[in-house]
Every structure is written in C-alpha cells, then in structure tokens.
Structure 1
Amino acid sequence: MTKETKELRRTYWALLTAFALLVAMGMANVFSATFVSDGVHGRFFNHLMRQAIFFAVGLGPALFLYKKDYRIWRNYTKWIIIGAVVLLLIVFPIGIVVNGARRWIGVAGFTFQPSEVAKLAGILYAASHLADFLEKRRPIEFLYRLSHAKDVVFWRRLRFVPHIALWGPLLMFLLVMEQPDAGTAFVILAIPAVMVFAGGARLSHIKWHCAVLGGGALLYLLSAPYRMNRIIAWLDPWEYEKTLGYQTVQSLIAIGSGGILGQGIGDGVSKFSYLPEAHTDFAFAILAQEWGLRGSIFILLLFCTVVYFGAMTAWNCRDKFGMFTALGITLYFGGQGFINIGMVCGVLPVVGVPLPFISYGGTSLVVNMAAAALLLNICRQNYKQAMERAAAEPQPVLRSMKEETRSRFPLR
C-alpha cells in the first residue's frame, strides 16, 4: 500500500468510528434525558423507542447511499431540490403548529420536518453547480452582473444576480423563514455560501451587499418581540434569570454542576422539569451534567474528528462534485455542532439548531445518517481510486543482493 492509500484508509475508519460513537452516545443521552418525563406520563422509554425506530428507518437510506457511487446523484440534484421545495410548501397548509411555529408534517403518529431534508438537498444542489463551473473553467462569484459590457449605464453593471448554486438554497431559506425557523434557515443558506467561497468567490465584491444584509437582519430582529427577547437574554441572561434568560441560566447551571467527572448517567437533576427542551436543542447540557467535563471534551473531540477527516476527504477527492459534497457535509456537521454547543454554553443566542446525533429528533437522525453515509461513500471511492492508481503504476523490479552489488560495482 502507498502512503496515499494508507492515509485514505485511516480517514475512512476514523470517520466511521466517530459516527458510530456519536450515534451510541446520542441514544444513551436521549434515554437519560427523557425517561423521567416518560415515566410521569406512563409511557416508559417512549422517546428512546421512537428514536430507535427512526434509527432503523434511517439504516435503509444510509446503506443505499453508502453502496451506490455518489457521482450518480449529480444527475438528480434538480429533482432533489424540487422535492425539498415541495415538502416545504406542503408544511403551510397541513403542517402541525408547535410553540407558534408550523414546521412539521404528521404521518401515522410520527412527525416529519422537511427543513432538515432541505439542508442536505441544498448541499447537493450547490455542489453540482459549483462542480460544473470549475470543470468548465468559469469564474465563481457570489453575485453576477446583468451585463459585462463596459459602456452600459452604471445600474446595469451592479452585481445583484446570485450565483446559480445559491438559487435553490435561497428559495428554501425564504420558505423556512416563513415557518418561522431562523436558525435552520441560516444553516440552509450559510453552508452553500461557504461552499461558493471555497470555490473561489471573493468577499470584496459583496462588501456593500453584506452591509445591506446586515441592516436587513437588524430590522428582522426588531420586527418581532420574541426575537429581541432572545438577544436580550443572550447579552445578560442572569439579569433575566426568572423570565427571558431562564433557559440559558438553567443550561449553564447544568453544565457547571457536572464538574469534571459528572453526576452519572441518569442522575442529572436538570431534566426534572428544570431545563426546557432538555432532550432536543439543549441535550448537550444534560450530557455535560451527567458525563462531566471529560464527556463534553470527548464529544468535542468526536466532532473535531469528523471535521478534520471530512476536510481531508474533500481535499483528497479528485472529482469536483465529490469534493464540494464532502466539504458541504463537513460544514453541516461542524457548523451545527458549533452553533448548538455555543448556544447551550451561552456564547451564541438561542436558535433552533439541534446537535447532530445527540439531540432527539427522528428526521434529524435520518438525515444525519444519510449525510454520514454519503461522506463515507466519498471516502471509500477515494480509497478505491487510489488503489487503482497504485496498481497501474509500474512496480520496481526486485533483485537479489548479489545482483544489486554487481550492478553497482561491476567487475573490471
């Protein structure tokens, strides 16, 4: 085996091990965070069983994506994005309203969240178009002009047409914002935007646009009281520990009370009606309380492993579509992990972004498994191609020590 094949094999096993450990720790954390509430309502292990059912359901698509060559999905990205948009549109007439937001579709007693599917659909859509641009040696920019002529009026030379790789994510962003779900909408648009930047787009061309978008984001925050309340609670949660900052304060208390070794699996007290959303968005707080600092560091190391070796998979991929897909999936796991842990620790405002594999959620688990399988597939294909290249290279002729000595020191 060559040095390249050894590195790719190590990358594959590191990713597989990290994903398997995240799934196992997520299942344990869901059980620990919900068995109390399930027992109170007489539905013992209800959340764990539902999570296990979604895990079993997700195994089918995950194995299918793992075994099929990832390059075939490049031909279906248009239909994937259309399907995701249709699902998001269906939410508005028949969706279930929870906490004032219409984000879920009810199916046979289970709920399905289309915005989770939109995250992966946006990655595949952007990867397909960015790969086309690089293969055709076309420049990639965030925004394009209506005309490239130099003698047209000024307004026709302004850059305000988004790159085609952002059209699908931008449409899904607007639909998810109407649910409303600002955190998920940000993830749907931010990941393809970073992919466009990685493809060679320059931020200097959109500096004025960023200023306008910043002003629009500020107006958006001011347009609804609950959004301003989240910002106020984030800036000083202890000032509003009984009202606006209650959730953040309880999360910090849970993390701090875990200490180094933790209170023990199942022995954390914050899940006893103290911390809201203890099994979903704030699952990391329960994990930190029961597993302690060592468990928290271990989770961070697992996500760092996924990010590092996911980036290595993208770097070693010689296919442009695979490179951008691996990059997008790596951002998907790393970005959501950073946002969720930062939110739980009070570093970022409270937004509805779950922690991959750790937070309770059926749709999220299925999509996470599909994304992980796709990343492993890309890594496996990289390994196969490296092995084929190594086999095609001419091998050195092995000679005996006697023949080697004669060739180096011929007798006169």
Structure 2
Amino acid sequence: MLKRIIKSYDYPLIIAVCLLCLFGLVMVYSSSMVLAATKFSNPTFFFDRQKFSLILGFLGFLATMAFPYKAYSYTKLLIAMALFSIGMLVIVYTFGHTANNAQSWLMLGTRGIQPSEFSKLSVIIYLAAVYAKKQSYIDQFDKAVMPPILFTLIICGFVAIQPDIGTAFIIGMIAVTIILCSGMGGKTLTKLALLAMIGIGISSPIIMMQYDKVFTEERMSRFHGFIDPFETEEDAGYQLVNSYIALGSGGFTGLGLGQSVQKFGYLPEAHTDFIMAVIAEELGVVGVLFVLLLLLFIILRGFMIARKCEDPFGSLLAIGISSMLAIQAFINLGGLTGIIPITGVTLPFISYGGSSLILLLLSMGILVNVSMFVNYHDNYSQKTKEKVQYTEPRFASKYSSH
C-alpha cells in the first residue's frame, strides 16, 4: 500500500514547484543585493531571509503533502481554524506592526509574519468544506449559501482596514471562484449578484463620506501613474516607467544574470512587486517564459486535478488553490506591465516575502495530496477493473464447456 501511495504522488507538479522556488531564491538575491548592501551592509540580507522562509515552507510542504486533505473538513478543526484566522487578524489590527503604510505584520523578534496571507488558505478550506458538506441543499440561503460568505466578508473586512486592499481583493475573488464552482443553481447565483449590487449601492455613500481615508494620496497616485505613466514619470508613473525600461532592455536572452541596471536604485521594490521586470532585464524572454510556463503548468494542473477529483471537497480545494495562484499572478504581472494599477501583490514563488512563500508551499502540499488521492483511486480502480475483465472470461469458458 505504501508503494502505491508513493507512486501516486504527482511528481511533475512537485518538480515544477521546486524549480520555481529555487529560481525565485536566485532572483531574490540578484534583484536585492544592491539594496541589501546599501541599507544593511550585507548583500545577502534578503537572500538569507528568503532562504530561511523557503526551508520552513518546504517542511510545511512535506507535512501537508503527507497529511490527508479530508481531515481539514472535520467540523471541530474547521471551526478552530476559522476562529484562529479571525483572532489573528484582530490581534494584528490591535497590536500589529506598520510597514509600507499598512498595519499587516506581527513581529516575532526581528522577523514578521503576515496573517492576512494565511487567511487566503483558511478561506479556501472553509468555503470548500462547507459547500462540499451542503451539496444536498446547496441552494438554501440561510443554511448553505450565506454562512461561508459572512465568514469571507469578515476576513476581507479585517484585511481591508489594515489597509491591504490587494490581499482583500484576492480573497474576495477566490471566494467568488469557489462559489461559482460549488454547484449552486443559476437562480441562487443571480440572487447573490443582486445582493452584491445592493451592498455596493448602500456602502458607496459611506465610502464617499470617508473619501479622504479611503482614497488616500498614495492610492490615487497609483491610478494617475497607471493612466498616463509617462506624463507623471518623475512622480506617480516613475515605478511603471522604469519597469517598462527593464522589460524592454533585456531582449531575447537578457543582459546576463546579475547584470540588471534598474536594480541600482532606479526600480523601487525590485525584489518584491517588480521582480519579473528584473528577470526580463537579466534573462530576457527566455527567463520570463520559464516562469510563466511553470506557473501556467501548476495552475492548469490544479484545475485538472479538480476536474478528476470525485470528492466535492477535494475538487473545491484544488479550484481554490489554483485560482489563488492565477489571480495573484495576474495582478502582479498586470501591475508591472501597466494593464491594471499597481497593488503591491507579489509574484507567486518568485518575489521576496516569507509569509507569502510559506503560505504558497503549504497550499501546494495540500494540492499534491489531493492529486495523490485522485491518482491512487484511479490506479487502484483501474487495476481492479482489469483483474475482473481478465478473470471473467476464464471463469465463463470453464463452465461453458459442460
């Protein structure tokens, strides 16, 4: 049985995740060495921290890869996880550390963790488990539809007031994806859409009353830089213009690993939000395609696992994790290419960020575990079927001769 389990693991998915993480570690060092040497007199400062997070994340990856995913749907564990997620966000709101104008961090000595990142996974697990359990009455608003949505709104609310609008938006979009795939009927989804429109209509006057707090000068500058970056290239459009320069100067093969010019203070956040611009500058189209193809492979693999999984909980888990990767990658790449305003969202597995990397590796471990159960079931069922097909003709021929 152990051999069957080991053979059932999704090794192409595991290899793809490991390649992205290792590549990301190299690029964090390359993109941050100048800033680290200037600010901390240690060119490996960010690299060392990312390496530490990668080791922790990989241990978590191995643990969740081996832990049966169905156990996450146990009621007591589910309630404990939901309360813990909300509790951590309350603590952050009360005692959190502020960085980059957002009170999103809890400090553990010299290191910080970002609970809002882990809230993404708690929302995925909670929504997947609840909607999977309530398939027989999935269209009943009071018993099935609304409880998970209320939990999601609470999480999004606490994240948004940090303020971390980008993460709150990602959590909301993940929830929408799971809801659309949960099996709800068209009438129920229409009712939810109408409720959402009513909610937006009611909240709009409240938001406008708090205009100065919601639409801060920093947030509005991102929109101005997005609309016309070259008109405001000395101010709001500075980051996007330098991203364009980095993206365009690499050519097909790039300037060479470590040879980026933009990371010498020209491109802010080169090792986090705009790391793909440095990859394009140093490794060209080849490096960009390497990252994009691996990300695309992991995302599509996740959706294929969801489609093959006959267990509603496992299927919704795979959909939630895959959609999280897809949404986060789109927002990051859309920001640095000027398709959407810059939101400060990191590129999965590549950008500097310990909480994000650990969360992603924990999520990937769960996805690999779902895939293992799907493969194990398929392989075992197929072997059993072949055995029956092989023995039945012999049995029939033995008695047909009499």
Query: TM-score scaled to structure 2, two decimals?
Result: 0.87
**Residue number in structure 1 paired with 2:92:** 91
CA drift at 1:205 = 2.6
**Residue number in structure 2 paired with 1:224:** 215
Secondary structure, in 3 states, of the residue corresponding to 1:237? coil
**Residue number in structure 2 paired with 1:181:** 164
CA drift at 1:210 = 4.3
Counterpart mapping for 1:157-172 below 5 A: 163-172=146-155
**Residue number in structure 2 paired with 1:102:** 103
1:166–1:193 contact (8 Å) kept in structure 2: no
Secondary structure, in 3 states, of the residue corresponding to 1:97? strand
1:120–1:371 contact (8 Å) kept in structure 2: yes
In the aligned structure 2, how far is the partner of 1:22 from the partner of 1:320?
29
Q: Which has the higher helix share?
A: 2
Counterpart mapping for 1:231-242 below 5 A: 231-242=223-234
**Residue number in structure 2 paired with 1:410:** none
Q: Which residue, out of 155, 174, 181, partners 1:191? A: 174
CA drift at 1:238 = 1.2
In the aligned structure 1, how far is the partner of 2:241 from the partner of 2:78?
43
Name structure 2 gaps, 5 residues minimum.
398-402
Going from structure 1 to structure 2, the CA distance change for 1:218 and 1:279 (only over 3 Å counts) comes to farther
**Residue number in structure 2 paired with 1:58:** 57
In the aligned structure 2, how far is the partner of 1:125 from the partner of 1:397?
44
In the aligned structure 2, how far is the partner of 1:288 from the partner of 1:219?
43
**Residue number in structure 2 paired with 1:283:** 275
Secondary structure, in 3 states, of the residue corresponding to 1:254? helix
Secondary structure, in 3 states, of the residue corresponding to 1:105? strand
In the aligned structure 2, how far is the partner of 1:78 from the partner of 1:192?
18
Name structure 1 gaps, 5 residues minimum.
147-160, 408-412
1:122-160 Cα deviation digits (max 9, x unpaired): 0000001110121xx21347xx379xxxxxxxxxxxxxx
1:314–1:324 contact (8 Å) kept in structure 2: yes
CA drift at 1:13 = 2.7
In the aligned structure 2, how far is the partner of 1:212 from the partner of 1:292?
47
In the aligned structure 2, how far is the partner of 1:220 from the partner of 1:347?
26
In the aligned structure 2, how far is the partner of 1:344 from the partner of 1:331?
20
CA drift at 1:213 = 5.2
Counterpart mapping for 1:115-194 below 5 A: 115-134=116-135, 137-140=136-139, 144=141, 163-194=146-177
In the aligned structure 1, how far is the partner of 2:221 from the partner of 2:139?
39
Q: Which residue, out of 356, 372, 392, partners 1:364? A: 356
Going from structure 1 to structure 2, the CA distance change for 1:171 and 1:398 (only over 3 Å counts) comes to closer
**Residue number in structure 2 paired with 1:153:** none
Number of equivalences: 377
Opposite residue 132 of structure 2, the aligned amino acid is: A
Name whichever of 269-278 and 76-85 sits farther off: 76-85
1:23–1:358 contact (8 Å) kept in structure 2: yes
**Residue number in structure 2 paired with 1:340:** 332
Secondary structure, in 3 states, of the residue corresponding to 2:137? coil
Opposite residue 269 of structure 2, the aligned amino acid is: E
CA drift at 1:183 = 0.4
In the aligned structure 2, how far is the partner of 1:361 from the partner of 1:340?
14
Q: Identity over aligned residues, as a percent?
A: 31
Opposite residue 74 of structure 1, the aligned amino acid is: S
CA drift at 1:396 = 3.6
In the aligned structure 1, how far is the partner of 2:267 from the partner of 2:206?
31
Secondary structure, in 3 states, of the residue corresponding to 2:281? helix
1:14–1:309 contact (8 Å) kept in structure 2: no
In the aligned structure 2, how far is the partner of 1:204 from the partner of 1:172?
23
2:299–2:323 contact (8 Å) kept in structure 1: yes
1:154-194 Cα deviation digits (max 9, x unpaired): xxxxxxx9622222221110001110000000111210121
| 1:261 has 2:261 as partner | no
**Residue number in structure 2 paired with 1:304:** 296
**Residue number in structure 2 paired with 1:350:** 342
In the aligned structure 1, how far is the partner of 2:204 from the partner of 2:287?
36
CA drift at 1:344 = 1.0
1:266–1:290 contact (8 Å) kept in structure 2: yes
1:51–1:361 contact (8 Å) kept in structure 2: yes
**Residue number in structure 2 paired with 1:155:** none
**Residue number in structure 1 paired with 2:32:** 34
**Residue number in structure 2 paired with 1:20:** 18
CA drift at 1:208 = 3.6
In the aligned structure 1, how far is the partner of 2:37 from the partner of 2:138?
59
In the aligned structure 1, how far is the partner of 2:322 from the partner of 2:139?
21
In the aligned structure 1, how far is the partner of 2:52 from the partner of 2:283?
25
In the aligned structure 2, how far is the partner of 1:363 from the partner of 1:272?
26
**Residue number in structure 1 paired with 2:400:** none
Rg larger for: 1
1:95–1:102 contact (8 Å) kept in structure 2: yes
